[in-house]
Amino acid sequence: MRVRNKYRKPTAFPCNAGSRCSMSAVVWSLVGFVLMLHLYSLVSHRNPVGGDIQLRMSRHPLVRELEQVEEENIQIPPPRGKRSPRAAKRRPKRTTTLIDEFLDENSQLRHVFFPDMKTAIDPTKDARNDSYYYHPGRIWLDTEGNPIQAHGGGILYDERSSTYYWYGEYKDGPTYHAHKKGAARVDVIGVGCYSSKDLWTWKNEGIVLAAEETDETHDLHKSNVLERPKVIYNDNMGKYVMWMHIDDANYTKAAVGIASSDYPTGPFEYLRSQRPHGYESRDMTIFKDDDGVAYLIYSSEDNSELHIGPLTEDYLDVKPDMRRILVGQHREAPALFKYQGTYYMITSGCTGWAPNEALAHAAESIMGPWETMGNPCIGGNKMFRLATFFAQSTFVIPLPGIPGSYIFMADRWNPADLKDSRYVWLPLIVGGPADRPLEFNFGFPLWPRVSIYWHRKWRLPLRWRLSN
């Protein structure tokens, strides 16, 4: 009988698919890959100047000139005289910051944030070499030489007329406080509309939805609040539909308003206000998807979360389906766009008229789940980036013909004189690695980074301008 040698070295068999060593090898391989991916994203895409994650793309030549990063080196001047009551009340015992200077109408840096009329963008007078340049923060004149009044607005591209329409709050009135603790406000005048073929030269089409002067019970009475009007076109009904934030002076009504028109230049007929899905609605926007389905996105529950849901086929109401997103994150001023089947959104924090840090979010389905990607701002300086270039998101404009390229629309609010609030339009590019790859999807981001580039002066590529 053959005797087994119990000390004999066992034969080395390769691990099969079901063995422990095979599973261990797979797990450690994945861990190693994730760590290498994370290391690459941190090292290869870090800005040597400011230490911020940067985007460097070369897939399309038209994008490169939009990605040039400009830095700012603004020094806070020593105190000179008394600060404004608003600034002193806000932070009386703390070292002055750039945001404090921004909010102080008596600041020596006032001209940096709100340049005077001498530097205004005037499409009717600018020399040929200076044409089509955007100057974020400067006064922007229409074709009649008046400052554009379209705050908190959005853009509709009308395919029937090949024309862009810019709708926004017409704030050309005095700023005041309804009561001692009330927010700065301007009486409702209406929704302004401007038209353009090139996104730079804007013709005033007038007030397309006017305030109510006498009936104090009307939603549009001048003592109430009308904010963030957005317009989309309903192909089936042949109607232009406007949604907006409707409120009272104390922001307790918290509703949306709906209006419609047969023409992009109005007049729009105001239909009603309502609380969508039975919930509060303050900052809001609407988004029309590729399949024609439209969605309402709004801040709710004391601005602690966003709600999103589809509109009815006529765009005049919401359907019952609704999802809560970004719960507990206190985000507002949503601006949505879509690229290669992925939905993106820029939001701001909730700090009243004061600027704060923007965040970019992404989702494979517009109904969620949504994941936060990080601060999209690049350039300026650290405070510029943390304050979204001293502006707040309102809309994102697609740029057909330049892959992954958009214009980020934002408002630089002037709480001391709201009619003098400014517009900050900057290039937004989708591409490159996400900021925080290990914070979602087990380290495998399904979408690229969203980047908003700071420029003191910039314009769209010539090839795009010639094609439009």
Q: What's the confidence (pLDDT) of residue 67?
A: 77
Structural domain contains residue 14: no
Number of structural domains in the chain: 1
Structural domain contains residue 126: yes
Cα torsion 400, 406, 407, 411 to 10°: value is 130
Q: What's the confidence (pLDDT) of residue 431?
A: 86
Structural domain contains residue 25: no
Query: Residue 151's domain spans which residues?
Result: 98-466
Q: What's the confidence (pLDDT) of residue 53?
A: 34
Integer Cα distance of 293 and 261 in angstroms: 19
Task: Write out residues in the chain with pLDDT < 70, as ranges.
Answer: 1-62, 80-94, 126-129, 433-446, 466, 468
Structural domain contains residue 189: yes
Structural domain contains residue 22: no
Q: What's the confidence (pLDDT) of residue 448?
A: 86
Q: What's the confidence (pLDDT) of residue 178?
A: 87
Q: What's the confidence (pLDDT) of residue 204?
A: 98
Q: Do the Cβ atoms of 300 and 280 come closer than 8 Å?
A: yes
Helical spans, DSSP H, in 372-418: 382-386
CATH of the domain at 436: 2.115.10.20
CA atoms lying within 13 Å on the CB side of residue 464: 22
Indicate the pairing of strand 422-430 with strand 450-453: antiparallel
Integer Cα distance of 123 and 155 in angstroms: 19
Q: What's the confidence (pLDDT) of residue 211?
A: 98
Cα torsion 28, 32, 38, 42 to 10°: value is 150
Q: Do the Cβ atoms of 234 and 314 come closer than 8 Å?
A: yes
Q: What's the confidence (pLDDT) of residue 461?
A: 83
Integer Cα distance of 155 and 258 in angstroms: 17
Omega within 30 of 0 (cis) for the link into 403: no
Structural domain contains residue 333: yes
Structural domain contains residue 84: no
Structural domain contains residue 120: yes
Q: What's the confidence (pLDDT) of residue 444?
A: 46
User: Which residue, among 199, 195, 171, has the nearest Cα to 185 in the 3D structure?
Assistant: 171
Sign of the Cα torsion 238, 235, 228, 367 reads: positive
Q: Using the 8-state DSSP alphabet, how is residue 422 labeled? A: E
pTM of the model: 0.85
Sign of the Cα torsion 214, 220, 225, 228 reads: negative
Integer Cα distance of 422 and 139 in angstroms: 6
**DSSP letter string, 297-331:** EEEETTTTEEEEEEBPTTSSSB-S--EEESTTS--
The rounded radius of gyration (Å) of the Cα atoms in the chain is 26
Q: What's the confidence (pLDDT) of residue 464?
A: 73
Taking only the tens place, the pLDDT of each residue in 336-378 is 999 999 999 999 999 999 999 999 999 999 999 999 999 999 9
Q: Do the Cβ atoms of 306 and 324 come closer than 8 Å?
A: yes
Q: What's the confidence (pLDDT) of residue 72?
A: 86
Q: How many residues does the chain have?
A: 468
- CA distances (Å), 109 to each of 278, 350, 416, in order? 45, 25, 15
